[in-house]
Chains A and B, each alone.
Chain A
């Protein structure tokens, strides 16, 4: 790949450009290292940054062989960051992406921390790191070539001007150069004042405004650069989290209580004749069995579990009573409210027609394809190394230090690939790391904890169920004048470490609440009032301290709240007798939304007409056909989903036959990786719309394996079409996450199109669908 880049003509903000310092000359080698300074740019920023415990690793290293090492505390979560970051750095620096290697996650080898899913902030950081470095290299080249900076061009890491050239590698040869760039931010820590019990999870932010290239000039960003880790994964060379082993290591299996609230009466005993090398370990309600042999640990833990005695507990409403429980809960003030109560009420009261509904969804699971696993080595000197696949290593580091009551500085987290987890560890917690660290501290040996499938399904946090009341008013021209919505759910921020709770050790302390996650595409709806209510975890008063812990999951909050909003829009369009696309376009002037809706509708061969479908019934009368759409804007991006489905009334089965998804995510970094995220996000979204539901009784989660918690299979996947719009003038947008959230409302609308019935609950299981169809038959 040949990259020709003009030197940016943008007038740089010269308020601050860090200068290179030469630490020394070297006989061999040579490197330019980009490290961090706490900010001195503004008084505000400098006040915001405590000097405590900042990481020290360099951010970027440019070596005299032309290789570049980039470090980021964020980790690959399966959506392509490990490819996007080199692409972004390559374009700002004017090098080929293949010259860039990445270290991710490890807290002792990366500087910044931050959310792995927070791509926008991560990308902006690295873009600035590269831009600062580029400016420093230009100045260095200017000295060497005796040419002013504005006469230089850069191609593939070679600076040229006036017929002369010098490579980046030559610029740094035999020298050790330091470039210190300004950052703000604070180290992660357990913080009782924070809403989720933790602060500093954002990691560091690069300050200042180095001149950056216009995105229209990018050559690497915008191409389908392959994801770097794939060949090793395909060849069996990747070291996964589950593959790490240490000398003297013990395998552990946890013996969890029978309910989420039970406490220990007596731990079971081990038959040493059967399990000669195994040992039972108990700390309050944390019970585990360890052995040098993994299968012995598993077998022995089962034997111990069968004889361990626990108290009984029945503090949950049961999943079949969840909706009634949430509706009858004595809600007080909302956690968050947006918009005018009075103006919205006035507009609703004067509307010609009102449409209102109550929508709901049960608890669902992140459901990684592997139960979580971790390895910890807590040493006698109080230092600890923990191997993890968390998506927020610094946050987890803070939690581990807090639980073990050891210094943050003495905890090192090492990151490895593992099963995708879809937001479960965004706040650092909810893995097996706590169990491993506690057991290792007790046993003075490295301990590897692998949760079994049932442990993971029953004891990990879930994405809580919810109910939303929503209503809109229409005027005489079938325009919506106001929308009022009230969303009710449970807290979704509980990243406490479950092993620490059971062991009675210190944990973070998240607060109940919820938030409004919708972003508003309908600027022509003049009034709206949104409220979000969040009660504590179900069973929050459990004697064990655990209960049904709630956590965010992919497209958090907005995935939930977009379903009622867009479903209501579809109901209102039907009430107005209008085509659902035309109805939406009448309520927005956002050109990005309009263009994407039109492009996606064209790809789906959408024929404008109102729902329901007058031709829904198939020729043989056995099936009903429907189509529906929805849209969403999120994080500077627009998304549109169009579903076509077939309903078989005799069985209640829904098959999505075609799904068309459109995305405008600003400047597309990697069209192919974006397509993969769109395709796979649709699979998860359809899975949520049709299948996923956590069941629980009054004490415990009962859907504890893949036959109890069903997800979409390959045969159930429709043909999926993708539409992408890239824009050079809108910056980056989040592209990896939102695709799942535009499926449920589109599929629900397609169900109404096919049957004339508005479904107000997902998942649309055969039992629920059969019930809906039966109700209508009985009524008619």
Chain B
């Protein structure tokens, strides 16, 4: 591998890591193992960089590697699996190779999405931010958060979903503005 190959790889890690992690999660990988699997995909890609056809989209190549890693999870012993459920991953993987547009939508432009999302998060009210931190930083489930806040789980789910929806809209608005 020559230095320009390595340079390309570094560029691609920065460009694709956020999108790849979203893609991996969208194949039903357990959230706790998403980073692990995405890193594995990058390492496989790095080791096989000599096989990469420079005319192809690097992101698509990377997603292909990640998809194969997820499929391999199906064959593992239950205790070592990094996916939520065999059946769920079956459904999600079986459609991932056909819906190329959708896949590209999820996997590409990760950096831009992340920047927009961070800007949106900065505008959240304090209580919403705390709840989102409990969910995403402390890794608490809706049930756990409900106990922490003295709320009912459905109410927490609804609140989280409302915040998520508003963040998604905000992100898409910003992306739309940036695109315009």
Q: Does chain A bind chain B?
A: no
